[in-house]
Amino acid sequence: MRRHRTTAAVLVLAGLSAAAVTATARGRESGTVPRLVFPLVAKTVLWDNYGDPRPNGRHAGIDLENPWRAPVVAVEAGAVKYWESSLGGCMLYLYGASGTTYMYIHLNNDLTAKNDNKGACAKGVSFAVPNDAQVTAGQQIAWVGDSGDAYGNPHLHFEVHPNDGVDVDPFRYLKRAVKPLFAAREGSIFSLALHGQLVAAGAGAATLRVDRVRKYPGGHWLDVDAREVELTVPLGTDVEAFAQLASATLRPLKKPAGVTAYTLRANATPEAIVGAPGELLLGRVAPTAPR
């Protein structure tokens, strides 16, 4: 078995099922790390602390500062494997179809909003999918936490191991990763609530500068790094509150309007998950007061 260094120790992954190994091997290419889906749906502070000296060795990944229990997603399609240790806490290995292995460390182990450490490293607490699950890019696989030696400092320690080998600096891959607007398994049914400002409208489209997202079913409001998302406005959409949507061309509004937009139910696609232009269908829009 390969050995990978984590935050402060070397951890050995054991017991990977033959089924997961076979499924991953089938999808392996040259081991080149593909363009990733960013591993989180949340406002995130990103800086390059790969290689920093630590008490028990150099830092083998990057620490992503983000809210407790923020959704953690698969950066590419592959197979997942649970793991845990005293220093890494609740951990997950993603064996990507490209042949790259990714490590997600310090996942949640709390059962309440307090830092109680009463949860096991198990599905529903740390992990959002079963052990050995096959997952799609952008699917939620875990929750951010502070297990292991991260106690009191919730964050995601993330590592990249091309060809399932030695770790490399994840920073350049994370900088060019495409950020998911929400987490979903490809093909699953979803709808969204998008909070922000309507900044452009017309020609069957609307552009929102989004700062909060809620996914249905089962989601809750998440603060995200502000981004512009262009939605398609289907014929027959009720636009009485925002006549600008009916104009002949997509153009900036003189005065952006605070809104919450609700999308129509649809099947999740890779393009929809990352909020690609025109992939989300506007169902209705309502004015909102400034936060």
**Cβ proximity of 152 and 146 under 8 Å:** yes
The domain segmentation of the chain, as residue ranges, is: 3-175, 189-287
H or E stretch including 209? Answer: strand 205-216
Residue % of the chain over a pLDDT of 70: 80
Q: What is the pTM of this model?
A: 0.84
116-135: pLDDT as tens digits: 899 999 999 999 999 999 99
Residue % of the chain over a pLDDT of 90: 58
Place of tokens 């078995």: 1
Please state, in angstroms and rounded to a whole number, the distance separating the CA atoms of residues 224 and 283: 21
Q: Which residue has the higher pLDDT, 42 or 56?
A: 42
- Could you tell me which CATH number the domain at 3-175 has? 2.70.70.10
Please state, in angstroms and rounded to a whole number, the distance separating the CA atoms of residues 33 and 75: 10
The Cβ-side half-sphere exposure at 104, using a 13 Å CA radius, reads: 28
- Could you tell me which CATH number the domain at 189-287 has? 2.40.50
Triad 44, 45, 50: Cα angle to 5°:
120
Q: Which two tokens stand for residue 201?
A: 């409208």
| Least confident span in 15-24, 120-129, 172-181 | 15-24
178-187: pLDDT as tens digits: 999 999 999 9
